[in-house]
Amino acid sequence: MILSGFTTLMSLVYIGLLVLAVFCFVDAVLRREDAFRAADKNTKNFWLILLGVGVAVHLVGVPGLGFLLTIVVVIANIVYLVDVRPALIQVTGGRGGRGGRYRGSSSDGPYGPYNGGR
């Protein structure tokens, strides 16, 4: 009974970490390459390789080194979420990459900017 509950808990933790790794990887794929340089956060290729290997480690698993690699992957995902992603959002103004939705200014109406009847 207790072992079954522990197995269920570990399965949920594993799924949560896999979702986190996939989210970080997909988010990095959607960001512009020049934003990484502008934010002074390594290169896009570096983060794609690091986060992609992290997804592969979660999906495939490595016997013997699995736990250690999982810890390294979780740390990389946390660094991306806490440090790199906010810097990229700040540099790009909240837009991810290709074709981000135009937000306009607060005075924009349905037919363009409102100029006060001038």
- CB-CB neighbours of 6 under 10 Å: 10
Per residue of the chain (118 residues), give pLDDT as tens. Answer: 677 778 888 888 889 999 999 999 999 999 999 999 999 889 999 999 999 999 998 888 766 677 788 899 999 999 999 999 999 999 988 755 554 445 555 556 666 666 666 6
Question: Of the candidates 84, 78, 34, which has an alpha carbon nearest to the alpha carbon of residue 54?
Answer: 78
Q: Using CA atoms, how far apart are residues 7 and 23, in angstroms rounded to an integer?
A: 24
Type of residue numbered 61: G
Specify the DSSP class assigned to residue 100.
P
Q: Is the pTM of this model over 0.75?
A: no
- Between CA 51 and CA 38 the distance in angstroms is 20
